[in-house]
Structure 1
């Protein structure tokens, strides 16, 4: 089972143009090998139907997204939504040849679910379109999917913390079924060769800084006791690697002009998955830089 997670950089035109979307869909078909499950971030709200049409044409018959949330909130006059552009959201699609099927978007209820008896219901973000939760059938098992895109903290402050906290806490309070958590977490700041994670604001003082660091560390490492691992690091380890090991080429102007191992930037895009799914391979796909500023993250599982 091949799973792809990708920030398609559709925040503002021309990044959400029809031509760009066509190039990205062509990449999924010709280069990525039609992954069984795709989890996309920054899918442009105004191009929702085109995305759905193009994906359907290449065999993705089951699609769920949060784009209607974003569209409705974009028109809202209720504060503080005037401070958020709400121009994009998340999308999950399952290919018709996939062993997974019956994709179902899960409602963001604060009343019904494993969290109904909890003191905190973990749904307090002003940008709910950045969290998409869905279930799919995988043989006799139900697989839980979380597609998350954390907004940049430099622009939206505590909204980044809320997104990470909400996703993490809901997964911890969930049903315990096999799970894949993936997306652009805008974290960490950097990783050391010995595996040490350096979150943003780790040198700052105060309650907010502590909460910030905890939110990043929880989403990246806090699910290990539930049998969920960072698939890329589990496969490749840390230190100098001879493969692409960043997803956002923030320090390389033309990432396609250099070898994959020479691309410098941030490893913002992650896939945290249950070991029950038996991850086999995981890599950042260099060619994806041809149509986004993020490289797709692809993992193969043998559940």
Structure 2
């Protein structure tokens, strides 16, 4: 089972150039040979039909997304939604060649949920389109898929915390099956060679800063108690690697012009998966920088 997770850079401009989408679809066809499951972040709601039609054309006929939520909230004048652009959401699709089927979107409720021991009900973000929850069936097994993009904290502040908290709490207290969490978490600030994870605002004190730090660390490392692992780190470890180990080249002007180990930036895109999924490979693909500001993350599982 091959899974790809990718931020396709559909926030700005909101009317994503059709040429960029076509290049990204060509990448899925020619560079990575149709992964079984794709989880895309920052899919422009203004290009929903383009994405779905073109994905259908290359064999991704089972598609779920949150672009309907993004559209409805983006047209709302009710506070606080006038302060959010709501221009994009997430999309998950399964290829026809995959042995699994029955991709089903789940819509968590604020009335029913795993709230025991929680201070808040686990669904309180103003940008719910950033969290796509679904299931897919394969080999008589249900796989729960979480496709998440945390908004940048510098732009949206507490909303980033809420997205991470909502996702972590729902998985930690509610997931009953094999689980894969993937997406662009806009975290951490950095990782040390000894495996230490440094969250944003780690040097600050105060209630919000401590909550921020906890939210990032919970989503990145706290699900180990649920039997879930950081797939990339489980495969490659920490320290200086000879492969690409960042997904957002924030400090390299042309990431296609240098070797993978010389690209400088942040590892914002992650896969946290149930260990029983038996990961065999995981990498960031430098070629994806040719049509997005994020490198796609690809993992192979043997289940």
Structure 1 residue runs of 5 or longer lacking an equivalent are none
The alpha carbon displacement at 1:118 in A equals: 6.8
SS in 1 for 2:56: helix
Instruction: Give the CA deviation at 1:32.
Output: 1.3
1:100 Cα deviation (Å)? 2.2
* Equivalent position of 1:52 in the other structure: 52
Q: Secondary structure at the match of 2:300?
A: strand
Deviations 1:132-184 (A, max 9, x none): 00000011110000000000000000000000000000001223210000000
- Using the size of structure 1 for normalisation, the TM-score is 0.97
Please name the residue that 1:194 is paired with: 194
**Coordinate RMSD, CA, aligned:** 1.4
> What residue is the counterpart of 2:262 in the other structure?
262
Deviations 1:19-63 (CA, angstroms, capped at 9, x unpaired): 110110110111011000000000001000000001000000100
Match of 2:137 in 1: 137
Which residue of the partner structure matches residue 121 of structure 1? 121
Aligned to 2:217: 217
Query: In structure 1, what is the equivalent of residue 161 of structure 2?
Result: 161
Which stretch of structure 1 is more off in the superposition, 10-19 or 200-209?
Answer: 10-19
How far apart are 1:13 and its partner, in Å? 2.2
Superposed displacement of residue 111, structure 1: 2.3
Distance 1:117 1:266, change over 3 A: closer
Shift of 1:15: 7.2
CA–CA distance in structure 1, aligned partners of residues 234 and 243 of structure 2: 15
| Worse-matched range after superposition: 152-161 or 110-119 | 110-119
CA contact (8 A) 1:104 1:136 kept: yes
* Kept in 2: contact 1:289–1:295 (CA 8 A): yes
- CA offsets, 1:184-237, max 9 Å, x none? 000000000000011000010101100000000000000001110000000000
CA distance in 2, matches of 1:18, 1:27: 14
Instruction: Give the unaligned 5+ runs of structure 2.
Output: none
- Tell me, in whole angstroms, the C-alpha distance in 2 between the residues paired with 1:213 and 1:117: 20
Counterpart contact for 1:35–1:95, Cα < 8 Å: yes
Aligned to 2:177: 177
Residue matched to 1:238? 238
1:221-274 superposed Cα distances (whole Å, 9 cap, x missing partner):
000011100000000000000000000000000000001111110000000000
Deviation for aligned residue 1:117: 9.9
Cα distance change of structure 1 residues 19 and 186 upon mapping to structure 2, 3 Å threshold: same
1:285 deviates by: 0.5
In 2: Cα distance, 1:69 partner to 1:230 partner: 29
- Is contact 2:14–2:87 with CA below 8 Å preserved after alignment? no
Rate the CA distance shift 1:25–1:118 in 2: closer, same or farther, 3 A: same
Distance 1:14 1:226, change over 3 A: closer
Instruction: Map 1:16-165; keep pairs closer than 5 Å.
Output: 16-115=16-115, 120-165=120-165
* Separation in 2, partners of 1:199, 1:118: 22
Mapped contact 1:9–1:15 kept (Cα < 8 A): no
Shift of 1:82: 0.7
C-alpha contact (below 8 Å) 1:60/1:96 kept by paired residues: yes
Once the 2 structures are TM-superposed, how far is the Cα of residue 113 of structure 1 from its aligned partner? Answer: 4.6
- Structure 1 residue matching 2:12: 3-state secondary structure: coil
Q: Find the aligned partners of 1:144 and 1:121 in 2 and give their Cα distance.
A: 21
Q: CA deviation at 1:114?
A: 4.6
Instruction: Classify the secondary structure of the residue corresponding to 1:166.
Output: helix
How far the C-alpha of 1:99 sits from its partner, in A, is: 2.1
Q: Is the 8 A contact 1:229 1:274 kept in 2?
A: yes
- How many angstroms does 1:108 deviate by? 2.1
Report the counterpart of residue 296 of structure 2 in structure 1. Answer: 296
